[in-house]
Structure 1
Amino acid sequence: MPSPIWPYQTTGESYLPPVIFLHGFMGSGTDWLPIAKNLATQYYGILPDLPGHGWNTDFPLTQPINFDTVADGLRQLIEYLNLAPVTLVGYSMGGRIALYTAIQFPERIASLVLEGANPGLADEEDRQARATLDDQRAEQLQAEGIDTFVDTWYAMDLFRTLHTDPARLDAMKSRRKKNDPRWAAKIIRDLSPGRQPPLWDRLHTLAMPTLLLAGALDTKYTALMNRMGQSIPRSEVTIVPNAGHNVHVEQPEAFSQLLTNFLQSK
């Protein structure tokens, strides 16, 4: 298993209601600092580095990483910090992990916020195809190096709206290029949506209040969030104008306000 307690940053005072923020692929807990700081007078923010990211690489590269080990690592962090049931906020890959954890350990999660997160691929052939694609991406990353891979990754249509602010995008890419390519390749393989247990048929079991967010310019995830909202009993879907896949980066003030409103309404 990954090291028992993940590296993490905090914002706000520890007696405040706890909110754990989970970053996306090639990110780190630092990605969430602007949002967490916006909420710091009212909420205790915990911003971990997910396995294989940031400072969370203090375990053998050969050690398996999967959704069970990551969800259990998150559970251990919650127990270590002796937290009351938490609000779990996850973006993209972090959202997939948040959803899986909420289903596995519902007693630990008071409420759930998913930003551009996919419950998985229901079709076996689709899963096999995606796993193969991500294996190829991992090989490409190791062959070309992290700099070229990051440039190629953010050239994908999914991230096109980030290109409206070149300075912000360049800063993000610079942070991503600090990743160890061996770990990035491992994560893209091991936590591929093609190797993620599909969760569509378990969404109805989620009993906690759930906020589903997508950017209006991200048509794929707008459709996914709306579809998920039909299955999760206590969910609300919010589509954020003038944002693509990465709402909390593209519209941080709107995201912070939506999150605050949701937390205060519970």
Structure 2
Amino acid sequence: MKVNEMDYFVNIKGEGPPVVFLHGFTGDTSSWNEVVDRLTHRFTCISIDLIGHGRTDAPEDAERYQMAHAVEDVEAILARCGIGEATFVGYSMGGRVALQLAITRPHLVSHLILESASPGLLTEEERDARRVKDEALAEQILEHGMEEFVNFWEEIPLFETQKRLPATVQAEIRQGRLGQRPIGLANSLRGMGTGAQPSWWDHLSAMEIPVDLLVGELDEKFVGIAKRMKERNPRFTITSFSGYGHAIHVEEPQKFGTMIEDLLHKGGNTNGF
């Protein structure tokens, strides 16, 4: 659908209360397929290819990728779909988009489920340092192409646990990454990277909607982030998946889908899985 002069790919399946799924960096709507298939009998599932990813436009202008614009686009997609408010499930980069939407447009988000996501970096010094790293990676992608980038990306510690997946699943994930466009990923880093987005840590305490934080116990960095987020707002709940890493919905989609279904039915408040 065309929103804000951008062609977005949006996958809509099922009937019932709306649930919006936002993927992570290098992902697309297909990464949610197994999770969505568990939910379509009770919910309308809306998966969005974020700007620069999948089948959505990947403009040359890095400014168009700023998080504020991404949030505006998601808001426009909801309006086009006739949705007043929805539950949002966001993974990593998509979780940061969902969190900013919930903070800046709280009337649109009834329930927030964040998988391995953060409110950004706390200090300007941290953000400056991260922007330098993201710009270097963006230049690497543009200069050397997707295969060299994907080879590098597969080896970062964050995705170490994905090496336990069956070879066929790893090959499918790799092909999905290779199918992305260099300009889309590079500009996503520049506009939507953790260093580019505002810090929302000081806004967490004011959030009143249900917020569920899902983390893999082996992803120590994001387990720590989730604990610090809960310190800011004790109403948040943390669900830790034993034996899994950063991308729980990829490593164990059936178990992850069961948890999402449980949270949607019960409104959160689980302690572990």
| TM-score of the alignment, normalized to the shorter chain, above 0.5 | yes
Q: TM-score, normalised by structure 2?
A: 0.92
- Any conservation in 2 of the 1:114–1:212 contact (CA below 8 Å)? yes
Shift in alpha-carbon separation, 1:62–1:246, aligned structure 2, 3 A: closer
Equivalence map 1:170-185=2 (5 Å): 170-185=171-186
Aligned residue in 1 for 2:14? 12
Between the aligned partners of 1:106 and 1:210, the Cα distance in structure 2 is 12
Give 2:240's aligned residue: 239
Question: Is residue 23–residue 29 contact of structure 2 (8 Å, CA) maintained in 1?
Answer: yes
Percent of pairs with identical residues:
33
Give distance in 2, aligned partners of 1:21 and 1:188: 20
Runs of 4+ in 1 over 6 A off after TM superposition: none
Length, aligned pairs only:
264
CA spacing shift, 1:5–1:106, aligned 2, 3 Å: farther
Determine if contact 1:18/1:86 at 8 Å carries over to the other structure.
Answer: yes
User: Which residue of structure 2 lines up, in the alignment, with residue 257 of structure 1?
Assistant: 258
Bigger shift: residues 94-103 or 164-173: 164-173
Residues in 2 aligned to 1:70 and 1:52: alpha-carbon distance in whole angstroms = 10
1:84 Cα deviation from its structure 2 partner: 3.5
Q: Secondary structure at the match of 1:195?
A: coil
Are the counterparts in 1 of residues 19 and 45 from structure 2 also a CA contact under 8 Å?
Answer: yes
Superposition CA RMSD, Å: 1.5
Q: Which moved more, 1:121-130 or 1:54-63?
A: 54-63
Report what 1:42 is aligned to. 42
In structure 2, distance between residues paired with 1:184 and 1:126: 21
Deviation at 1:144, TM superposition (A): 1.4
Check the 8 A contact 2:215/2:248 in 1, yes or no: yes
Flag structure 1 segments of 5+ consecutive residues without an equivalent.
none
Report the Cα distance in structure 1 between the residues aligned to 2:192 and 2:149, rounded to whole angstroms. 17
Give the residue type in structure 1 aligned to 2:126. Answer: D
Using structure 1 for the length normalisation, give the TM-score. Answer: 0.95
SS of equivalent residue, structure 2 residue 162:
helix
User: Residue 64 of structure 1: CA displacement?
Assistant: 2.4
Tell me, what secondary structure is at the counterpart of 1:237?
strand
> 1:198 corresponds to which residue?
199
Give 1:10's aligned amino acid.
I
TM-fit CA distance, 1:160: 0.2
Partner of 1:100: 100
